[in-house]
Chains A and B, each alone.
Chain A
Amino acid sequence: MKKKKSSRFKEQAIRSFFFTCGILAILALAGIFIILLTMAFPAFKDISLKEFLGSGRWDPTSPEKAEYGILSMIVSTLLVTAGALLFAVPIGLGVASYLSDVAHWRVREVVKPIIEVLAAIPSVVVGFLGIVLFAPFLGRLFHLGNGLNALNGSVLLAIMALPTIISLSEDSLNAVPSSYAEASLALGGSRWQTLVRVKIPAALSGIIASIMLGMGRAIGETMTVLMATGNARSFPHGLLSSVRTMTADIAIELGEVPYYTTHYYALFGIGLVLFLMTFAVNMIADIILNKYQQRER
């Protein structure tokens, strides 16, 4: 009788512990959102939403007229992210296909850990490589004065998003039931046809989810873009112009802004926009994953 009571107590305790952990995660997320919302709200007493989201002029410390338009920064963030995905998705998918379909298991054993290491490189080191290595190279390649532009940022962000995309895509490809591939080969399909027409469509939900997660990483990246994209506040003209992303701007300005001024609240406004963007990206990834999983069943 004694033993049963203590084991039931243990069960309850462990269950409560896990429940608390889960609740804490939700509370943390809700807390962050509430803080961003309450700290950003006072900004809109002085700044119209139209100016904030519609104007490309960000000059809060201007001695003439303080301007709080973040459109240039939103576009800059989207530009470097799009550029990063342009590089990372084909290469990532290619590497994932190679690892899951073509590579000898010994090659896989070596390459997979190396890719994991790529994910562990600190973002500030990647930014440093961008300034010292890539920027001069891009400058020479495109005959620009310097290479601190959106393209530089895109390449670096692609390097950082690649491990996520490769890992998850490869897992998804491996999770495709072998009966699919066997059926395709049995019907006379080549290995390439099997990969492109059968395996990848079957693993599509996982692949798209991995791209979304890589995209989330790229949107939120701060240090790399701060160091490598030139930080010009003007509206970007293309991949070869200097850009300032939302994350870089917060990092640059939050340290010196006097607390509780319009500028201070506006920075939280930028944080809120960033949060909502990343949240939306993750939600879409989740929905896609769920939708395709249900279809499978």
Chain B
Amino acid sequence: MNFKKTLWAATLALGLAIGSGQVFAQKKMIQVKGSDTMVNLVQILAEEFMGKNPGSALAIMGGGSGTGITAVINGTCDIATHSREWKQKELDLAWEKGVKPRFFVVAVDGLSIIVNEKNPLEKMTMPQVGSLYKGEIKNWKVVGGPDKAVSLYGRQSNSGTYTFLQEHVLGNKNYSLDVKEMNGNAQIIESVIQDEGGVGYVGVGYLFDQNGKIRKGIKVLNISKDASSEAFSPLDKQNIDSGKYPISRPLYEATNGKPNAAVTGFLTFETGPEGQKIVEREGFFAISEAHKIQNAKNLK
């Protein structure tokens, strides 16, 4: 009886020792959370980084820019990825909690407006896009398209892309309540492919399939600033850099204060030449010199 008891106690103690040893031996993972527009890009950057730096570990999650920002304020992630700027409410909340965010631009995105390939429309003005999404235009013939009802696809309110479009294209007005709010960029593309009257907005990086060609079934519209300007395509890097394409935006990462050594390593990789090559390969645009200078300042 005594021997059995001792044996059980010894096994239990050994198990606990090994278990706790495992817990302490586990790598500390860098948690990255936020923008759905950026999640694929950051995933690939992370994989390359981990390949070059064995011993580093990163976990990348989506959920929308709003989700990431909330997480970095609450301390549940190390890096927040976001495709829009922080709202005043979020900045206030951060300061209340003693969180002093630092921002890094890792890529530039051309937000493209897509329609079904059967739609003969080739271009629209930015105010027209705004009217479409405010629900003011209900039929394609008003903007020069076919006589078909407009079927709006968009993101949900936790998406940075949603907020960015609302601020820059809708002039901070309400979206139409009829927008079908999809769970991510990919779902918008699939829906527009199937819907002949469909229109959607997606980050330019999502337009391409594995072979680097535009997804079959959608058409990317050229957008002009207003009725009297020329319309430009988001697919040409020059149009983005020069500001000719009106709906472009920086893609950000935010940390709580000065990032630690591991996070700094990853950020340096992303904004350096290797990372930027991957950014361009994935269909986004490289950051400008001004962005690079600002990033370097924020890393100090």
Interface digits, B144-185 against A, CB 8 Å rule (1 contact, 0 not)? 000001010000111000010011000011111111111100
Alpha-carbon distance between A257 and B63 when the two chains are bound, in angstroms: 12
- Docked Cα-Cα span, A72 to B178, in Å, equals 12
- Scoring B157, B183, B187 by chain A CB atoms within 10 A of each residue's CB, the highest score goes to B157
Cβ of A174 under 8 Å from chain B: no
Contacts of A234 in B (CB 8 A): 176-178
Please report the C-alpha to C-alpha distance between residue A84 and residue B69 in the assembled complex, in whole angstroms.
Answer: 38
CB of A132, distance to nearest CB on chain B (Å): 9
Out of B149, B158, B197, which one reaches A256, CB within 8 Å?
B158
Beta-carbon nearest neighbor of B156 in chain A: A252
Considering the complex, which residues of chain A in the window 217-274 have a beta carbon less than 8 Å from any beta carbon of chain B? 226-227, 230-235, 242, 244, 252-253, 255-259, 261
Contact A256 B194, beta carbon cutoff 8 Å:
no
**Contact yes or no, B174 A64, CB < 8 A:** yes
Query: Which chain A residues numbered 59 to 78 have a C-beta less than 8 Å away from chain B?
Result: 59-64, 72
In the complex, A148 Cα to B187 Cα: how many Å? 11
Q: Are A148 and B179 in contact (CB under 8 A)?
A: no
- Bound complex: CA of A9 vs CA of B151, how far in Å? 71
Which of A64, A252, A253 lies in contact with B173, CB distance below 8 A? A64
The answer to whether B177 touches A258, judged by C-beta atoms less than 8 angstroms apart, is: no
Chain A neighbourhood of B128, CB < 8 A: none
Q: Cα distance A58–B195 when bound, in Å?
A: 26
Q: Is A136 an interface residue (CB 8 A)?
A: yes
CB distance from B217 to the nearest CB of A (A): 13
Asked, given contacts A148-B180, A244-B181, whether A136 binds B194 with beta carbons under 8 Å apart, the answer is yes
Given contacts A145-B197, A146-B195, A256-B67, contact A232 B173 (CB under 8 A): no
Bound Cα distance from A139 to B192, whole angstroms: 13
CB contacts (< 8 Å) of B183 on chain A: these are: 226-227
In the complex, the answer to whether B157 meets A258 with C-beta atoms within 8 Å is no
On whether the beta carbons of A63 and B191 are closer than 8 Å, the reply is no
Main secondary structure of the interface of A (DSSP, over half): loop
**How many residues from A make CB contacts under 8 Å with B?**
32
What separation, in Å, do the CA atoms of A208 and B257 have in the docked complex? 59
A19–B167 CA distance with the chains assembled, in angstroms: 58
B71 CB to nearest chain A CB (Å):
9
Report whether A253 and B158 are in contact in the complex, using a CB–CB cutoff of 8 Å: yes
Which residues of B lie under 8 Å from residue A232 when comparing CB positions? 177-181
Interface pair A256/B191, CB less than 8 Å apart: no
Q: Which B191-215 residues have a C-beta within 8 angstroms of A?
A: 191, 194-198
Q: Is the CB of B166 within 8 A of A63?
A: yes
| Interface of chain A residues 123 through 161 with chain B (CB within 8 A) | 131, 136, 139, 145-146, 148
Interface residues of A in 40-71 (CB under 8 A from B): 57, 59-64
Given contacts A57-B177, A59-B174, contact A261 B89 (CB under 8 A): yes
Q: A233 with B181: in contact, given A256-B66, A256-B70 (CB under 8 Å)?
A: yes
Chain A residues with CB under 8 Å of B73's CB are: 258
Q: How far is the CA of A148 from the CA of B195 in the complex (A)?
A: 11
CB distance from A228 to the nearest CB of B (A): 11
User: What is the minimal beta-carbon distance from B131 to any residue of chain A, in angstroms?
Assistant: 16
| Chain A residue contacts of B179, Cβ below 8 A | 232-233
Mind listing 15 A-B residue pairs with CB under 8 Å? A57-B177, A63-B172, A146-B151, A226-B183, A231-B181, A231-B182, A232-B177, A232-B179, A242-B180, A244-B181, A253-B157, A256-B65, A258-B70, A258-B73, A258-B89
Which residue numbers of B lie inside 8 Å of A, CB to CB?
Answer: 63-67, 69-70, 73-74, 89-90, 93, 149, 151, 156-158, 163, 166-167, 172-183, 187, 191, 194-198
Extra contacts, 17 of them, besides A61-B163, A255-B64 (Cβ < 8 A), are A57-B177, A60-B157, A64-B173, A64-B174, A145-B196, A146-B151, A146-B180, A146-B195, A231-B180, A233-B179, A242-B178, A244-B181, A252-B158, A255-B70, A256-B69, A258-B70, A259-B70
